Amino acid sequence: MTSVDSTAAYIETVYRKMATALAIVRQRLARPLTYTEKILYGHLDAPAETELEAGRYIKTRPDRVALQDATAQMAILQFMLAGKDEAAVPVTIHCDHLIRAHRGAGPDLSLARNENREVYDFLTSASQRYGFGCWLPGAGIIHQVILERYAFPGLMMLGTDSHTPNAGGLGAFASGVGGADAVDVMVGMPWEVLHPHIVGVHLKGRLHGWTAPKDIILRLLAVLTCAGGTNRVFEYFGDGVESISATGKSTICNMGAELGATTSLFPFDRRMQLYLQSCGRREAAELAGQHADLLRADPEVLADPTRYFAEVIEIDLDALEPHVVGPHSPDRATTVSGMAAHVAAGGYPEKVSYAMIGSCTNSSYEDMEKIAAMAGQLADRGLRLKTPLLITPGSEQVRATIERDGQLARLEAVGATVLANACGPCIGQWNREGLEKGTKNSIITSYNRNFPKRNDGNPETCCFIASPETCLAYAIHGDFSRDPYTTEIKAADGSTFRLNPPQAVHEVPEAGFVRDVAGFLAPLENGGRTEIKIRPESERLAILDPFPPWSGADFRNLRLLLKARGKCTTDHISPAGPWLRFRGHLDNISNNIFNGAVNAFTGEAGKAVNGINGEIQPYNEIARAYKTAGESWVAVGDTNYGEGSSREHAAMSPRHMGGLAVITRSFARIHETNLKKQGILPLTFTRPEDYDLVQDGDRIDLLGLTELAPGSTVRLVLHHRDGSISDSVLNHSLNAEQIAWFKAGSALNFLRRA
């Protein structure tokens, strides 16, 4: 059962598990370990035999799972299919993504509770039924609540949200995953992950002046670009590390997601202890101190980092300047001193139409202290902000504390509006008024993403990202045409002044944080009988039916639904956007199936000829027609089929709509595994050129299924419309366990039976 925070007993169990596994691995490897390796290897499923090499898949046993309310819906529906009474690890649900920002915290929360009532009812009843902890709307943003309550050095966790690595600021190995991976861990299966390359980031010197932790990650994005972190973990070290607060470290780890990294993390230090103590988690701080050797890289690694890290990147904090990135990509970087020229060269609007500070990335007590001090400098001269400012606190703990300590009042006094403790404008949930869609304008945020439409749905909004201090400085000046840190400001009395970097800032409150437990719905002692609430007529939620088991016979006379040409990512198979509203309703969301896939016969996306009536129709209509007629189908794909996000719907929808197999030249590995989990056969042409044998209107036999075994092949027979036949041999990569999933109809069916 999940408690309101990580208990001492639980943390001790994690450290014991790590120590035992590491003893085995150290004996095998006989070399010093990085901190990342200590956590990763300390959580191996089979430490005695797992091959430990970057680029290989390894099976691990994470300690906990966090779900945000948008992705939680399908994850929990799948968990229910496994027939378990409780999850294998502690699970929390966080109601943060569905709250729209409009009129301010109070009215926005009431509206969200109404609009999303059925989703919240489902999530809360499921959490009571299965012993999950549930943080209700208004309690806070998933990553901030995790930091405050559950993260600790050495923890390994998964979250169904990209910015889960935020917990790396407290020394956790925290990865953002799709629902399928989260469900695996919830039902007691291991988490399979590509062993990452471990990059050491050496921080030298100290932050000073206006430079903030955010500028470190913006600098790294400038150097490495958005693709620079794929299959990499960024482990920070060096004398600069201790000069950054735990929440500053979290900001850096949070935005490691923009590099595409598996995760980012900092080693345990006194700043983490200070934060844990301030959150009322004294025992966690002490336990980490007692196990400090487990929670840092070995000294030999730090003495010779280039030998033990795959790569070492140096950042000199003494020389680092405040940065701004954007618009439309977080790696389009400039410095504050270069911003005016950047804006002029790009033709972006100079006027700052909105500034936003907060979100999961930058809403710490320290951040709020700094910007409240800047607001104080303004108010002292009788001035207000020139740009409207929205504040999105990361949690009720932060909001209530800055209310108690006066920062909130100082920000409101210069014109700030405080929104609900939720994602809001960070995830496009901003009901923006006063600007017609399509109007070009510039905004600045301390958030983490800035691709077009991310905040207000307007593709013409140019979003720039910077530290909270830099955002506020621009909100004070109102435009990007001058350096806000060096330009004089005219006070109400006609005198002039410059902003001064805030001094003597508290990174945590002297009186400790206001602990909010009102937002936590604790699991019931006897929750097992709780009824899970889903309205039968709901269009957003529906209980999943188990997929049927394999009939035991070869597949014969299947329809060809799709032959895709070129790129076919999970976004082509199951597009997001407006469809996300139906993510808890498999039948409704399946109306998007293959909407983006390019028909190899026509070059058109999303459409083909319906083999029953001869009409050109969207794939979802054709698949439904085949299903209604009792016919099953196959999809054929090109290379790297299913690349992109690990969205589980891209495997579930084809299965739900009657798909039995997907045949490709090659698969993206995660999607291939997701297909196996849903009971779909992923097959590849032994001869890639046999892809060309597939013709429009083919009927398909897949033979040899009764002898399916690891390493066996499957015979493909294509019956063409002209009466001719083509033959091909297909490979599969199913192991014995995965073959059992196929026979049972899905991995969850198999688990339920086991």
Give catalytic residue positions. 96-97, 161, 449, 645, 647
CB of 516 to ligand F3S, least distance (A): 18
- As to burial, measured by CB atoms within 10 angstroms (0-12 exposed, 13-18 middle, 19+ buried), residue 446 is buried
Closer residue to ligand F3S, CB minimum distance, 144 or 470: 144
Cα angle value 753/634/669 (rounded, 5°): 65
Euclidean distance between CA atoms 323 and 337, whole angstroms: 8
The CB-of-396 to ligand F3S minimum distance in angstroms stands at 15
Q: How far is the CB of 429 from ligand F3S (least distance, A)?
A: 8
The count of other CB atoms within 10 Å of the CB of residue 513 is 20
Print the binding letters for residues 415-434 with ligand F3S: x by CB under 6 A, - otherwise. --------x--xx-------
Task: Tell me whether residue 361 or residue 673 sits nearer to ligand F3S (CB atom).
Answer: 361
Residue by residue, what is the 3-state secondary structure of 108-155?
Answer: HHHHHHHHCHHHHHHHHHHHHHHCCEEECCCCECHHHHHHHHHCCCCC
Q: x-or-dash pattern for ligand F3S, window 180-219, by CB under 6 A?
A: ----------------------------------------
Q: How far is the CB of 390 from ligand F3S (least distance, A)?
A: 13
User: Which is nearer to ligand F3S, 96 or 507 (by Cβ)?
Assistant: 96
Q: For ligand F3S, which is the closer residue by CB, 386 or 454?
A: 454
Tell me which residues in 442-471 interact with ligand F3S (CB under 6 A). 448
Cα distance between residue 21 and residue 301, in whole Å: 20
Q: Write each residue from 81 to 110 as x if it is in contact with ligand F3S (CB under 6 A), else as -, in one continuous string.
A: ---------------xx-------------
Considering the rule CB under 6 A, would residue 278 count as an interface residue with ligand F3S?
Answer: no
Structure tokens at 437: 């869609």
Smallest gap from Cβ 96 to ligand F3S, in A, equals 6
Cβ neighbours of 754 (radius 10 Å): 10
Told to check if 127 binds ligand F3S by CB under 6 A, we report no
Contact assessment for residue 174 and residue 151, using Cβ atoms and an 8 Å cutoff: yes
Among 360, 378, 561, 708, binds ligand F3S (CB under 6 A): 360
359 binds ligand F3S (CB under 6 A): yes
CA-to-CA distance for 255 and 259, rounded, in angstroms? 7
Within 662-681, which residues bind ligand F3S (CB under 6 A)? none
Q: For ligand F3S, which is the closer residue by CB, 419 or 472?
A: 419
Q: Spell out the residues 6+ positions from residue 753 whose beta carbon is closer than 8 angstroms to its own.
A: 744
Provide the minimum distance between the beta carbon of 393 and ligand F3S in the complex, in angstroms, as a whole number.
Answer: 11
Span from 140-148, 397-405, 570-578, 656-664 in contact with ligand F3S (CB under 6 A): 140-148
Tell me the closest approach of the beta carbon of residue 253 to ligand F3S, in angstroms: 13
> By CB under 6 A, how many residues form the interface with ligand F3S?
13
Query: Pairing state of beta strands 725-731 and 713-719?
Result: antiparallel
Nearer to ligand F3S, 174 or 198 (CB): 174
Residue 595 in contact with residue 618, Cβ under 8 Å? Answer: yes
Nearer Cβ to ligand F3S, position 38 or 328?
328
Q: Which amino acid is at 356?
A: M
DSSP string of 623-645, one letter each residue: HHHHHHTT--EEEEE-TTBT-SS
Q: Omega into 710 within 30° of 0, i.e. cis?
A: no
d(CA 407, CA 472): 14
Contact string (CB under 6 A) for ligand F3S, positions 539-578, x = contact: ----------------------------------------
Nearer to ligand F3S by C-beta: 25 or 221?
A: 221
Report the alpha-carbon distance of residue 214 to residue 237 in Å, rounded. 16
* Min dist. Cβ of residue 353 to ligand F3S (A): 20
Shortest reach from residue 708's CB to ligand F3S, in Å? 41
- Label the pairing between strands 725-731 and 681-685: antiparallel
CA distance 418 to 399: 9
We find the least distance from the C-beta atom of residue 163 to ligand F3S, in angstroms, to be 5
Closest CA to 99 of 132, 140, 71, 143: 140
Backbone phi, psi, residue 106, to 5°: -60, -60
Residue among 129 and 163 whose Cβ is closer to ligand F3S: 163
- Give the nearest distance from C-beta 623 to ligand F3S in angstroms: 32
CB of 213 to ligand F3S, least distance (A): 16
323-325/489-490 β-pairing: unpaired
- Tell me whether residue 166 or residue 746 sits nearer to ligand F3S (CB atom): 166
The number of beta carbons lying within 10 Å of the beta carbon of residue 433 is 8
- Kindly tell me which residue out of 39, 123, 142, 475 binds ligand F3S, with binding defined by CB under 6 A: 142
Per-residue burial over 491-511, b = 16 or more CB atoms within 10 Å of its CB, e = otherwise: eeeeeeeebeebeeeebbbee
d(CA 21, CA 36): 14
Contact between 141 and ligand F3S per CB under 6 A:
yes
Residue closer to ligand F3S by CB (options 97, 572) is 97
Strand, helix or coil at 711? coil
Using an 8 Å Cβ cutoff, are 142 and 360 in contact? yes
As a whole number of angstroms, the distance between CA 589 and CA 582 comes to 5
Using CB under 6 A, which of the segments 135-143, 175-183, 314-322, 605-613 binds ligand F3S? 135-143
What token pair was written down for 231?
A: 């299959």
The residue (of 254 and 470) whose beta carbon lies closer to ligand F3S is 254
Q: Report the site for ligand F3S in 673-732 (rule: CB under 6 A).
A: none
The secondary structure of 447-472 as a DSSP string is SS---TTTTTS-TTEEEEE--HHHHH
Site for ligand F3S in 574-633 (CB under 6 A): none
- With CB under 6 A as the contact rule, the residue among 38, 43, 149, 163 that binds ligand F3S is 163
Contact 609, 615 (CB under 8 A): yes
Q: Which residues are CB-neighbours of 472 under 8 A, at least 6 positions away?
A: 355, 357, 371, 374, 375, 385, 389
Stretch that binds ligand F3S, among 58-66, 137-145, 458-466, 694-702 (CB under 6 A): 137-145
Q: Indicate the pairing of strand 311-316 with strand 441-445.
A: unpaired
Q: Could you say whether residue 251 binds ligand F3S (CB under 6 A)?
A: no
Q: How far is CA 375 from CA 292, 358, 370, 386, in A?
A: 39, 15, 9, 12
Which is closer to ligand F3S, CB of 147 or CB of 663? Answer: 147
Structure tokens at 679: 């009971």
- From 5, 37, 108, 161, residue interacting with ligand F3S (rule: CB under 6 A): 161
Q: Strands of 274-351 (E only): list them.
A: 311-316, 323-325, 333-335
Least Å distance, CB 184 to ligand F3S, is: 22
Instruction: Give the residues lining the site for ligand F3S (CB under 6 A).
Output: 96-97, 141-143, 161, 163, 359-360, 423, 426-427, 448
